[in-house]
Every structure is written in structure tokens, then in C-alpha cells.
Structure 1
């Protein structure tokens, strides 16, 4: 499945840990936004790791699942392209 995942981490010590974890699962498209092509088990694994890493009362991670039709309708103004290469990720 194709997901857009964004995060807002309140603590500067947790922030690089979350970013490093996210880089294992997807492609950074903006500072705290990643595009990810994940199986259901990879998504569950990532969510579990994030739950252990973040402070739920101060941090926020949002997962937006995009259907195939939605992915065909993504518009980018400026530099960048939509993530397509599933083999790039090493979750």
C-alpha cells in the first residue's frame, strides 16, 4: 500500500531517531514527510517501533493511505517525483 506519513516530534533528541527509522521504510519527500510503499506487516512493524520511540502526549505521527486512483492524481509543483520503486526500501 502507498502511504504518506508525516510527523511532528516535540523533543530534539527523539527527532533524529524517528527520522532515521522512517528512512528505513520510505522516501523523504519533505523534512518530516515520507512516501512509503509498505505491506500490511511492514506497516504494523513500523507503527510498533514508532509507538515505542515517540511520546504520545507530545508527539504526533500521521498515516495517510492513498488508493491507486489517488496516487494517479498526485500533483507536484517544483522538484520531486512520486515514489515508485518498492525495492528501494529495506524495512
Structure 2
């Protein structure tokens, strides 16, 4: 399934800046950054639970916010892109 992870981490303190880096690093393990605090992640249901739990272990719910949206198929009808960044198609073969 494709999910969109969006977060806003307070960076007023060094602890907040550390949380921000940790949240981004975890999201990078599951998907690709599409905006500064937004990631598209293709995950299985168990991976989604792990991702959610890992992020909830880091954020401070009194200062930060986290949203996870499930993007339903077909993607062509539910995702419209504008601008220079085009997301990687996870179904295509990637050459590294």
C-alpha cells in the first residue's frame, strides 16, 4: 500500500532538531521524500505498523504532529502531481 507521511516537528530546541532528523531518517528507510516534511512510502501492513510505532516513539505529541494517509489505488486517479519533482514509480525497475 502507498502511504503519505507528513510531520511537523518543533525545532525551537536542540532536542526538537534532533527529533526532526530522526523522524526524517526513519521515513527515508521506508520511502522517498516528496517535500521537506512529506514522504511517500510503499509498505506492507506490518511495515506500516512498525513505521508508525517508530515515529511515535520519537515525536513529542505535545509539541509535534504526525499524519499518515493511505493513498488508495488506482494512483492515477488519486494522485495529481505538479511542478519539477516527479515521484519514483515503485513498480518500475530501478537501475542503481
Q: CA deviation at 1:27?
A: 0.4
Distance 1:3 1:51 in 2: 16
Structure 1 residues 16-25 or 73-82, which shifts more? Answer: 73-82
Higher relative contact order (CA 8 A, sep 6+): 1
- Select the residue among 56, 62, 68 that pairs with 1:57: 62
Partner of 1:84: 89
Structure 2 residue ranges without an equivalent (≥5): 11-15
Query: TM-score by structure 2 length?
Result: 0.81
Structure 1 residue ranges without an equivalent (≥5): none
Distance 1:58 1:8 in 2: 9
Return structure 1 stretches of 4+ with deviation > 3 angstroms: none
- Select the residue among 12, 15, 29 that pairs with 1:24: 29
Cα deviations by residue, 1:6-38 (Å, 9 ceiling, x for unpaired): 000112121111111110011000000000100
Query: TM-score by structure 1 length?
Result: 0.85
Partner of 1:3: 3
The root-mean-square deviation of aligned C-alpha atoms, in Å, is 1.7
Distance 2:88 2:53 in 1: 23
Partner of 2:13: none
Q: Give the number of aligned pairs.
A: 87
